[in-house]
Amino acid sequence: MNKEVQRIDLNNYVQTGEGGTSLTYTHQTRHTMAKLFNLVNEAEMAEREFLTARAVFEMGVPTPEPLRLVTDGERRGVEYELISNKRSFTRIISQEPERLHEISLAFACMTRELHSTKVDTSRFTSIKERLCRFYQEKGDRVTEEYKARALAFIDKAPDADTCLHGDLHIGNVITNGQHNYWIDLEQFSYGVPEWDLGWMWTICNHIDGQRSNFILHLTPEMLKAHWSIFIVAYLGTDDQATIGQYTKRLMAYYAVRLPYMLDLLVQGRLPKEALQQLPKVIG
């Protein structure tokens, strides 16, 4: 696999998208799209996304084909096959809110299929290994109690050889109306589904209005409604006691992953109050 970073001229591209960590540019004559990161660790992020997305594409998971590593001279990124006439699931809901239920069900179906797909474990890093490495190398991001509880939880958590998206939320699916595609696969790994669902739960239930509108084009109320539809379809039950018990299980997975994701996405740390409260959630 060619990891050479190739220079692109943005005069040949038109900016067509903006997200929390990157900008996207569509080529004016070729059927490609460049995604350029705006993070401090952009070079590392770009290479990891390219290699991971390439491996995911080759195993048959529906995702746009990653073509090459690129730079505009300042930022690093990945050039992908362009999916014509695409919209994200969140963009559809924001423009056609009456389709919230339909799109949430489609997302639940895709997620269940992804979580039942086995991976070649020689090509990917398990979520447990990735989190262990974070706490061992960057344990100063949290308290000693937090670190100890997180590592103990990771050690006891079940193993699985099935797919995890790694940044699971409804904004990370695009569609052209005929086919649906997973995107933003830089954190793809494998393990039990609760690692993905714990992260999705916090995005749907705790993201603030400004970020939800900027990143996902949805209000917090719409995200909460989406979660309520999704979890019923994903679990295959509308029994509220069962859903409540399962959601409670997700809290520890969420609490263990949160410091890692904050460090990855915004080089941030948990506030003092969260550092004191979340270890109790982990157990």
Q: Tell me what pLDDT residue 86 has.
A: 92
SS3 126: strand
- Mention the CATH class of domain 87-282: alpha beta
Q: Tell me what pLDDT residue 283 has.
A: 86
**Do 182 and 62 contact (CB within 8 A), yes or no?**
yes
**pLDDT at position 2 over 80:** no
What residue ranges of the chain are covered by domains with CATH 3.30.200.20?
Answer: 5-81
**pLDDT at position 71 over 70:** yes
Q: Tell me what pLDDT residue 193 has.
A: 99
Q: Which of 13-22, 92-101, 103-112 has the lowest mean pLDDT?
A: 13-22
Mean residue pLDDT across the chain: 94
Q: Tell me what pLDDT residue 269 has.
A: 84
SS3 60: coil
**pLDDT at position 19 over 80:** no
- Mention the CATH class of domain 5-81: alpha beta
How far lies 66's CA from each of 58, 63, 77, 135, 242, in Å?
10, 9, 11, 30, 40
Q: What is the mean pLDDT of residues 26-44?
A: 88
For the stretch 234-261, pLDDT in tens is: 999 999 999 999 999 999 999 999 999 9
Rg (CA), the chain: 19
Return d(Cα 127, Cα 11) in angstroms, integer: 39
Q: Tell me what pLDDT residue 1 has.
A: 63
34 phi and psi angles, rounded to 5 deg: -100, 135
* Confidence class for position 211, pLDDT limits 50, 70, 90: confident
Q: What is the mean pLDDT of residues 262-281?
A: 88
**Alpha carbon 272 to chain centroid distance?**
26
* DSSP-derived pairing of the beta strands 5-7 and 66-71: parallel
Does the pTM of the predicted model rise above 0.85? yes
Residue type, 197: L
What DSSP designation does 41 have?
T
Instruction: Provide the token pair at 153.
Output: 């939880």
To the nearest whole percent, how much of the chain has pLDDT over 90?
Answer: 83
What DSSP designation does 118 have?
B
Return d(Cα 255, Cα 3) in angstroms, integer: 34
The residue with greater pLDDT, 269 or 278, is: 278
Q: Which of 45-49, 179-183, 213-217 has the lowest mean pLDDT?
A: 213-217
Return d(Cα 90, Cα 108) in angstroms, integer: 14
**pLDDT at position 83 over 90:** yes
**pLDDT at position 214 over 70:** no
Contacts of 138 (CB under 8 A, 6+ apart): 263
Q: What is the mean pLDDT of residues 209-234?
A: 89
Q: Tell me what pLDDT residue 216 has.
A: 81
For the stretch 164-192, pLDDT in tens is: 999 999 999 999 999 999 999 999 999 99
What residue ranges of the chain are covered by domains with CATH 3.90.1200?
Answer: 87-282
**Do 168 and 188 contact (CB within 8 A), yes or no?**
no
